[in-house]
Every structure is written in C-alpha cells, then in structure tokens.
Amino acid sequence: MDIENNKTYFIDLDGTLFDKKVGDRISHRNLTAMLLVKNFANIVINTGRSYNDKHVMHTMHRLGISDAICSSGAEIYINSVRKYAFFIDTNVLPGIIEFARNNKLMLVIFDQNGESIYTQHAIEKFFIKFFASSKFHIISTFKKLDVMNHINITKIALVVKNKFKAHKILAKFNSLFDQYCNSHLASANYVIEVTSAKTNKGLAVSLYMQEKQINPKDAVHIGDSDSDLTTRAFVGHLVAMKNGTSKLKSAADEIAPKSKNGGIYKYFIERGKKIKGA
C-alpha cells in the first residue's frame, strides 16, 4: 500500500484518531499527521458520533475538511451540507425502546436536535447531567420518554453495562429487528449502534465514493470496532487499530499501533519509512 496512491482516507474517531480523553480529543502528533496527509489525500471522518457533536465539528475545523460520514453511516455530509440521510422506520421504534427497557440498557437517540439519552434509573440521569450535560439535548429516564419528541431519528445507541454480555444482547436484538435495522458493536463493545437497514458505515462509504467518483482501490478505512468492519467490502485497504476488536483485526489488511499516545501518527510515520525504503 503506497500512501501516495491512496487518495481517500476514511478515519474513525473514538478509539482511532481520538487519542485523548479530555479537552481536544486529538493529540498534537495525530493532528500533525493528518495535516501532512491532507497534502496528498482526501480525508473523510467516518464516525458513530452525530454531525452536531462538538468534537466532530471541532475536529473538522482543525483539519480543515468539509466531508464527513456521521451517525454510523446514517448521515453523509459533502462540502458541509447533508447530502444523504437515512432514518429508522418509525414503526419499529416502540419495539426498540421496549427492548432497551426490558434488557436494562440505557438508550441514546440521534435526531435532528442532536443526541438525547434515556436511563433506567434517576441516579444515572443525575450523574450524566452532572458530567455530560452539554453533550445531550435531553437527559431523562425511560418513564418520560416520548418518541413523538424525536423527529427524523438517524441512529439509536444501546449502552451495555457489561461488555462481556454484548454479543449475546446483540444476537437477541438481531433476532427481533434484523430485517428493519443494521446493528453493530462499537465503543469497546459497550455500545450497540442501530441504524436503518439501508445504511451502515460501509454502505455510506460506498455511496460517498459513487458521489465523488472515487475508485474503491484508492480508498482506505481506518477504525477499531465491528462497525468499521462493514467497510471491508467497499474499500481497497482496511486498517485496524491494535486496540480494535478481534473480529476487525482478523479481517483487516493491516494492523496499526494502538490509538493511545499518537497511534495514527505512528502509523503514518511507519508507512512513510516503508515507502521510502522500498
């Protein structure tokens, strides 16, 4: 894989480009690497976060880019304009909400107002309001959830407390909703990302490349979760972070360093050395 010949890099954020937990999520080294790559390649964010997320907007501003795939493929922005959006079927929403309630999962709804979170217990709501009030449009409990307050839902995130039960919960979810939704594990298997059956990260990459007339052989996706695995069939080169899931790493063409402490920077430095020595 020659960096010079890969004209588009689809970059995941959490667990990939984001290597800091507080403040600016991107370290100076990762930012430097991306700005250098921008000289010869197109950079597109491909994230589970919504476009309205402050860290997404700040990252795009710092990188000087205007294209992004957000909400796990449910939104595609080109030149800072939402070109495509895929909404979850309203008929299936009550069933998903009931599933979350019965399985004691917190639920995050992504809609035109951003992200809203619903908890099982008031104490959970209290802590989220205390630590993350600016992130969410609504912070409430399931008792006060009214789906009519949410218009054009692009994504639902089911938050799993025990990641070792995540695969079992995902299998149960798929047995009920597979024909209506796409669902994948993300965030170190603590989150089940749910989108319309018409999209996921991979399908969105394919649509973006058609729109921009990009040859799939010239596309690279870098990520860390099972959600990123959906890009496998659509890009010429798939890179998994070392901190990524076993499933993703087994399917990847290449393994990059762990995201922590400038993993993306280390990856591109190593690629440059290999190309220079070839």
* CA separation for the pair 50, 202 (Å, rounded): 17
Same domain, 152 and 185: yes
Same domain, 41 and 98: no
Same domain, 223 and 183: no
| E strand residue ranges, the chain | 8-11, 42-46, 68-70, 75-78, 81-85, 106-111, 114-119, 138-141, 155-159, 181-186, 191-196, 219-223, 237-241, 254-256
Same domain, 191 and 94: yes
Same domain, 22 and 113: no
The reported pLDDT for the residue numbered 1 is 43
The reported pLDDT for the residue numbered 272 is 77
Q: Where are the alpha helices (DSSP H) in 65-194?
A: 93-102, 122-132, 166-177
Same domain, 79 and 210: yes
* CA separation for the pair 227, 73 (Å, rounded): 10
Q: Which of 196, 211, 244 is the last residue of a domain?
A: 196
Contacts (Cβ under 8 Å, ≥6 apart) of 181: 88, 92, 96, 194, 195, 196, 197
Same domain, 129 and 190: yes
Q: Which of 144, 170, 196 is the last residue of a domain?
A: 196
Q: Which of 136, 167, 196 is the last residue of a domain?
A: 196
* Structural domain range at position 245: 3-85+199-277
Same domain, 69 and 203: yes
Domain count, the chain: 2
pLDDT tens sequence across 71-96: 999 999 999 999 999 999 999 999 99
pLDDT tens sequence across 12-32: 999 999 999 888 899 999 999
DSSP 5: G
Q: The tokens of 62 are what?
A: 């710092």
Same domain, 107 and 81: no
Per-residue pLDDT tens digits of the chain, which is 278 residues long: 455 555 899 999 999 999 998 888 999 999 999 999 999 999 999 999 999 999 999 999 999 999 999 999 999 999 999 999 999 999 999 999 999 999 999 999 999 999 999 999 999 999 999 888 888 999 999 999 999 999 999 999 999 999 999 999 999 999 999 999 999 999 999 999 999 999 999 999 999 999 999 999 999 999 999 999 999 999 999 999 999 999 999 999 999 999 999 999 999 998 877 766 65
Same domain, 143 and 237: no
Same domain, 99 and 191: yes
**Residue 108's domain is classified under what CATH number?**
3.30.1240.10
Same domain, 34 and 63: yes
**Residue 209's domain is classified under what CATH number?**
3.40.50.1000
